[in-house]
A and B are shown apart, each in its own frame.
Chain A
Amino acid sequence: MKVTSPIGELPFVVRGVSLHDGHVVVEGELGAWRSRIEVGAEDLPMLGRAFRGPLIAAGLGLAGIALLRRR
């Protein structure tokens, strides 16, 4: 995984995923820097908006494939 930042593009390596206080915590390394990403229920609307387009496209694609297979 890569992350673009003001100091350039850096590699992000995931070291582990866990649950803490109702949050999904992704721990990893951004280059040599220890990093963590926390995702909670309050982030779901934002994630829903961000992934709406790709999810709709994926849904339509799958529906299309299913229709073609039925024929």
Chain B
Amino acid sequence: MPDRPLVAIVGAGITGLACAHALRDVADVTVVDRIPVPGGVHGWEAAETRELARACRAHMRLGETAIRWDGLALLAIGQDGPQRMEAAALVIATGARPLGRAELGIAGGRPAGIVAATVACHLAENGLLVGRRPLIVGGGDWAMRAAGELRAAGAERATLVCPDGLLRERPVDDGVHVRERDRVVSVAGTPRVRTATLASGETLGCDAVVLAHGVAALRNVDGAVWAGDRAVYAQPLADPATVERARAAGAEAAAAVRSLIDQEERP
């Protein structure tokens, strides 16, 4: 139907697909994702991914990177070069990231070896170890996953520093040490991080600091970083992330898009 509003969704994870599914009867939806398969962190082989991708009836532009939103159109770059797609609304469903060093208030120089848990895990999966004695800041899903992956990739030991305590079951691995209710206040070392000082006053030796604490929305589409200009955000920030929460966030964003479209159509 040509008179249906066009909606662009960035992110083909469960949240983006659930949003597309909730809008399928009221809008022509295009889902853009830089990864060439749907599913996001949940994976393309998961039953929920397959079911939603099939049922949402959206135009999928996978393997394309959304670059810029100007309030009227989304610029994306893929195998066939840049493409500009007009849309009445943009939904940002690009997931979340752990808090960065500045957000965690970690002082000190800028030594090498301080990485986000998502990066550390990705490197470990590909056989690259960020450190043999990493200190992992966090006690939730990202921290536990980082500890497991780094140990599996060859880390001698990993120390979890959990500002909010351990949010998951205590690791059974003897090579993973836990310090609850403490936080890293500064790091030191040149050129690579060698020590981390905790709020309790203790200084721990390490050769990498993995940031895995807190959850922040990942917003890397230029022009759609802040609210406004017909952009809607579908980024559940709860830890642990669950399929139910992702679906709920997608449905909530779809309701916001409907309301936005209704407002614009009102004379």
Q: Which residues of A does B touch, CB under 8 Å? A: 6-8, 10-11, 30-34
Contacts and interface: CB of A to CB of B under 8 A. Distances in A.
A30 B44 CA distance: 12
A8 B36 CA distance: 10
A34 B79 contact: yes
A31 B62 contact: yes
Given A31-B35, A32-B61, 12 more contacts: A6-B122, A7-B35, A10-B44, A11-B37, A11-B44, A30-B36, A31-B37, A31-B44, A31-B62, A32-B60, A32-B63, A33-B79
A31 B36 CA distance: 5
Nearest to A8: B35
A10 B36 CA distance: 8
Residue in B37, B61, B62, B122 with the greatest tally of chain A CB atoms within 10 Å: B37
Given A10-B36, A10-B37, A33 B44 contact: no
B126 A33 contact: no
> Majority SS of interface residues in chain A?
strand
B36 A32 contact: yes
A30 B122 CA distance: 20
Contacts of B62: 31-32
Contacts of A7: 35
A3 B184 CA distance: 39
B2 to A, nearest CB: 26
Contacts of B44: 10-11, 31
A7 B62 CA distance: 13
Contacts of A10: 36-37, 44
Contacts of B36: 10, 30-33
Contacts of A31: 35-37, 44, 62-63
Contacts of B63: 31-33
Interface string B9-47: 000000000000000000000000001110000001000
The 9 closest A-B pairs by CB, nearest first: A31-B36, A32-B62, A32-B36, A31-B37, A32-B63, A33-B36, A33-B63, A6-B126, A10-B37
Interface string B46-88: 0000000000000011110000000000000001000000000
Contacts of A6: 122, 126
